[in-house]
Amino acid sequence: MRSVDDLLAEGVSGRRVLLRADLNVPLDKQTGAITDDGRIRASLPTLAALREAGARVVVAAHLGRPKGTPDPQFSLAPVAARLGELLGTNVPLAADVAGDDARAKAEALGDGDVLLLENVRFEAAETSKDDAERGELADRFAALADVYVDDAFGAVHRKHASVFDVAQRVPRYAGRLVARELEVLTRLTTDPERPYVVVLGGSKVSDKLAVIEALLPKVDRLLVGGGMCFTFLAAQGHGVGSSLLEADQVETCRRLLAEADGRIVLPVDVVCSPAFSADAGSTTVVVEEIPEDQMGLDVGPRTVELFAGELSGARTVFWNGPMGVFEMAPFQAGTRGVAQAVAGVAGLSVVGGGDSAAAVRVLGLDEESYGHISTGGGASLEYLEGRELPGLAVLAD
């Protein structure tokens, strides 16, 4: 797999580079303002290096899930503005994805200039399952540049036109972010330093089942929190009240607990509420006493202490998924406490993207205290599951 540093060594001054970046940032639903620019900032090392070398950079990215047609609420306009602020230069936004305006603006670029294409998912062909449809769009992408650099790790598990197909049409390279993600994930999957502890949270067991199956033989401890813990607790015979429960996964969880032979660690107390609301009040109870009319929305303080103890001597940690509904103040202490324990690990600590990365920033924790914060939650999990990721496979050809 050739890297962007190989491209820089070859010389890129005056050449147009199509850079696929992951700029899929959250926006405030009322104001449209960016609420977390972490992914934009993560794209800067590769982008700045290309600019400094005199490349003419055409950036392709997606935002949200528009249905294959232009939709103002998913425009990359606020991203272009923020990218320009961070780079200290004007970043124009093309009026289309790979049409007449994109071509005209790309041809007008000077050395070190940056152009952002409009949301690639405004084109239905971007995500089409039809190879020919994606290929037609990929041809238009390829016409915009001389070389292609993929730095969008958060999208490499997608067989999309701007990720997979265009890379087959022009010389292709991996960006610095993709290279760093691969370096870290390889350390997690090949002979990690022990003890190796994985912390999993999030809503559903079904979303994490494949990664649990893949990691369980490799880890020393698997700590389970978030909504998914209640299906495991039910498998142990506990009542879980009105908490999130996947009844069809209870037997699977029972099997996993048996196979783990004590290596899966579950909460011992939870914070409950009669409603999914920050204003409904909350109580902390041991897991044996969850009221029938209440739902668990966070792990409790004893669980934080238990999990922190399991993490204290770890040399390798992977954390993916919050411990509770951290967006609501009454239910964020569990995620905060576990996040702080992960940050305190002396060895390699990896935050596996998605809601975990968002929680670090929302809770005001020090990003520098973690060994690596991934930009790709889904991509990270699929890599750890051992699945082939189309965007990486095409770069390796």
| pLDDT given for residue 310 in this prediction | 97
Q: Looking at the domain assignment, is residue 186 inside a domain? A: no
How large a percentage of the chain has pLDDT more than 70?
100
Residues 6+ apart with CB under 8 A from 195: 220, 221, 313, 314, 315, 316
Query: Is residue 62 annotated as involved in ligand binding?
Result: yes
Within a domain: residue 207?
Answer: yes
Q: At a CB cut-off of 8 Å and minimum separation 6, what does 99 contact?
A: 140
Which of 147, 179, 211 corresponds to the end of one domain? 179
128 is known to lie in a ligand binding site: no
The count of structural domains within the chain is: 2
Global confidence as pTM:
0.90
Domain contains 73: yes
CATH number at 98 reads 3.40.50.1260
Domain range for 308: 192-385
Pairing type for strands 316-320 and 348-351 reads parallel
* CB contact at 8 A, 114 and 59: yes
Given this model, what pLDDT does residue 195 score?
Answer: 97
Task: Assess whether 168 and 249 both reside in one domain.
Answer: no
The order of strands in the sheet holding 147-150 is 114-116, 56-60, 16-20, 147-150, 172-174
22 is in an annotated binding site: yes
Q: Is 354 annotated as a binding residue?
A: yes
Looking at the structure, tell me whether residues 293 and 146 fall in a common domain.
no
Residues 158 and 211 in one domain: no
Report d(CA 395, CA 397) in Å as an integer: 6
Q: Which amino acid is at 44?
A: L
Are 236 and 123 within one domain?
no
User: Can you tell me the distance from the alpha carbon of 378 to that of 156, in angstroms, rounded to the nearest whole number?
Assistant: 9
185 part of a folded domain: no
Contact 379, 184 (CB under 8 A): no
**Is 24 annotated as a binding-site member?**
yes
C-beta of residue 315 within 8 angstroms of C-beta of residue 346: yes
Q: Which of 179, 212, 243 is the last residue of a domain?
A: 179
Instruction: Judge if 75 and 208 occupy the same domain.
Output: no
Question: Is 127 a member of any domain?
Answer: yes
Annotated binding-site residue? 281: no
Segments of the chain scoring below 50 in pLDDT: none
Instruction: Say whether both 235 and 356 belong to one domain.
Output: yes
Cβ neighbours for 190, distance < 8 A, ≥ 6 positions apart: none
Radius of gyration of the chain, Cα coordinates, nearest whole angstrom: 22
Size of the chain, expressed as the number of residues it contains:
397
Residues recognised as catalytic: 39, 204, 354, 378
Asked, for residue 395, whether it belongs to a domain, the answer is no
Residue 375 confidence (pLDDT): 85
Q: What is the pLDDT of residue 348?
A: 95
Residue with tokens 């909460």: 267
Same domain flag for 203 and 302: yes
Tell how strand 114-116 and strand 56-60 pair up: parallel
Is the domain of 321 the same as that of 370?
A: yes
Helix (H) or strand (E) holding 44: helix 44-52
Same-domain pairing of 134 and 249: no
Q: Where among 136, 158, 179 does a domain terminate? A: 179
Q: Rounded to 5, what percent of the chain is helix, strand, coil? A: 45, 15, 40
Q: Is residue 187 situated within a structural domain?
A: no
**pLDDT per residue as tens digits for the range 299-349:** 999 999 999 999 999 999 999 999 999 999 999 999 999 999 999 999 999
Position 303 scores a pLDDT of 98
> Residue 178 and residue 188: Cα distance in Å, rounded?
15
Angle at 378 between CA 201 and CA 366, to 5 degrees: 60
The contacts of residue 328 (CB under 8 Å, 6+ apart) are: 277, 278, 297
Is the same domain home to 236 and 135? no
Q: pLDDT value at position 358? A: 86
CA atoms within 13 A on the CB side of 67: 0
* Model pLDDT for residues 126-171, shown as the tens digit of each residue: 999 999 999 999 999 999 999 999 999 999 999 999 999 999 999 9
pLDDT of residue 55: 98
First to last CA, the chain: 7
Q: Do residues 203 and 175 both lie within one domain?
A: no
Do the annotations mark residue 296 as ligand-binding? yes
Q: Does 394 reside within a domain?
A: no
Same-domain pairing of 167 and 201: no
